[in-house]
Homo-oligomer: A and B are copies of this chain.
Amino acid sequence: MDVRYINPFLNATMNVIKTMAFLDIQPGKPFLKKDHLALGDVTGIIGLTGDVKGSLSFTLNIEMVKAIMKNMLGEEIDDVTADARDAVGELTNMISGDARRMLQQEGLNLSAAIPTIVSGKNHTIKHMINGPIIVIPFTSEGGGQAMVEVSLQ
């Protein structure tokens, strides 16, 4: 995967979370995924087609979900609610849209499928691709953690 394609996903995630949830998240250093473990409690997944095929996942731990729900909807939650799943789905859609807009400027045209949201403690996510999977980690105050994983064939 071309390294030029990493920043659009990193920037899109920060933009969307800042704009929608008024939350500053700090990106860590992107790395190559070596196993299939997602470290979160909710994941939004969106398939990509077009110039290349791929998949994008956005995995959050409960602390990050709580902070987003409080800021975005004024809801105090203890667990992953139906509203929280919807919010993660919408955010995943918007991250995909914002990143695709930036990738288009790099000459890469992608279409997005319908997002799917997975919730469940300790679920694992695997992208079925023969090639590198880039993981971009994020943290927020109060123990919030999230990861964007991108694979493009």
A residues at B contact (CB < 8 Å) = 36, 43-50, 53-55, 57, 82, 85-86, 89-90, 93, 111-129, 151, 153
**Are A128 and B153 in contact, with the CB atoms below 8 A?**
no
**Are B118 and A123 in contact, with the CB atoms below 8 A?**
yes
Across-interface contacts of A119 in B (CB, < 8 A): 123-124, 126
Taking the full assembly, how many copies of this chain does it contain?
2
Tell which of A93, A115, A129 has the most Cβ of chain B within 10 Å.
A115
Closest to A120 in B: B123
**Are B85 and A36 in contact, with the CB atoms below 8 A?**
yes
Across-interface contacts of A115 in B (CB, < 8 A): 55, 127-128
**Are A89 and B126 in contact, with the CB atoms below 8 A?**
yes
Closest to A130 in B: B114
**Are A85 and B121 in contact, with the CB atoms below 8 A?**
no
**Are A127 and B114 in contact, with the CB atoms below 8 A?**
yes
Contact among B49, B123, B151 for A47, CB-based, below 8 A: B49
**Are B124 and A55 in contact, with the CB atoms below 8 A?**
no
